[in-house]
């Protein structure tokens, strides 16, 4: 039986919203909301927060979830996840962003399921249709191009004569691929597009893609957090 662990890389510093992972106007730190969503995924056997500060660890453990300290020198979340994965024996490691408190647990299940269904792929990610109000030319809305469940390309610019979907930045990795991935050198396309996932494809590794109905956005600013709090309160008391 395939086993999967969700690892949530979490940093205390954030340029646009300092300490956002511990924002707790709902009564729960944001990262704990993420833990709850990950825990609800049927494919997940274990949830671990990969932290860079003891304050995060204390907050997470205070609500009964597992948290471990990681090194301060990680260049990105994938590297932080890879450090934790070194001590795990799960088949699949899911990198769950710590600023997505409204993540649908079924999205995690979709990423794990499509990776299991594509044994030649080392990684899986998600795609979703563009919403009616989305500006497809917005470089912050990353475009993903795929065929028969396998990624072909990613870009920030809209390519002509193609039918892209919006990329959802959740990744499921085969555990033994994570140390390989973080050891790969950057590529020219990765630097040009500022898309870390291009490194995987540029080095010849295949990436499976699951399509989900709705792609939820992470929280980057205090304004977005207040909107989330309003939605949460409405759902709790509606």
For the stretch 174-219, pLDDT in tens is 999 999 999 999 999 999 999 999 999 999 999 999 999 988 888 9
On the question of pLDDT at 225 being above 90, the answer is yes
Grade residue 12 by pLDDT with cuts at 50, 70 and 90.
very high
Q: How would you label 8-41 residue by residue, b for 16+ Cβ within 10 Å and e otherwise?
A: bbbbeeeeebeebbbbeebebbbbbbbbbbbeeb
Residue-level pLDDT at 237 = 63
Q: How many helices (H) does the chain have, and how many strands (E)?
A: 8, 9
Give CA–CA dist 143/159, Å, rounded. Answer: 9
Structural domain span for residue 126: 4-233
Residue-level pLDDT at 117 = 98
**How confident is the model over 56-88, as pLDDT tens digits?**
999 999 999 999 999 989 989 999 999 999 999
Judge whether 93 lies within some domain.
yes
State residue 126 phi and psi, 5-degree precision. -125, 155
Judge whether 238 lies within some domain.
no
- Number of domains, the chain: 1
CATH (domain of 24): 3.90.550.10
Residue 35: its H or E element:
helix 30-39
Cα 95–chain centre separation? 5
Judge whether 183 lies within some domain.
yes
**How confident is the model over 107-153, as pLDDT tens digits?**
999 999 999 999 999 999 999 999 999 999 999 899 999 999 999 99
Give CA–CA dist 172/114, Å, rounded. Answer: 9
Judge whether 66 lies within some domain.
yes
On the question of pLDDT at 53 being above 60, the answer is yes
Judge whether 50 lies within some domain.
yes
Grade residue 16 by pLDDT with cuts at 50, 70 and 90.
confident
């Amino acid at each position: 039986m395939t086993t999967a662990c969700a690892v949530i890389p979490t940093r205390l510093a954030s340029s646009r919203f300092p300490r956002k992972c511990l924002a707790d106007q709902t009564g729960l730190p944001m990262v704990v909301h993420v833990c709850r969503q990950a825990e609800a995924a049927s494919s997940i056997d274990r949830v671990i927060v990969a932290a860079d500060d003891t304050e995060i660890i204390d907050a997470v453990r205070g609500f009964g979830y597992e948290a471990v300290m990681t090194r301060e020198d990680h260049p990105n979340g994938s590297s932080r996840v890879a450090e934790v994965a070194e001590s795990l024996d799960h088949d699949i490691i899911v990198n769950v962003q710590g600023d997505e408190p409204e993540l649908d647990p079924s999205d995690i299940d979709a990423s794990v399921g499509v990776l299991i269904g594509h044994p030649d792929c080392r990684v899986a990610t998600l795609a979703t249709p563009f919403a009616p109000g989305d500006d497809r030319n917005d470089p912050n809305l990353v475009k993903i191009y795929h065929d028969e469940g396998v990624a072909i390309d990613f870009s920030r610019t809209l390519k002509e004569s193609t039918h892209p979907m919006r990329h959802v930045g959740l990744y499921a990795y085969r555990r033994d691929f994570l140390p390989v991935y973080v050891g790969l050198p950057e590529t020219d396309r990765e630097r040009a597009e500022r898309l870390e996932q291009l490194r995987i494809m540029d080095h010849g590794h295949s990436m499976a893609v699951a399509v989900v109905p709705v792609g939820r956005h992470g929280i980057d600013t205090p304004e977005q957090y207040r909107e989330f709090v309003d939605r949460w309160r409405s759902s709790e008391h509606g």
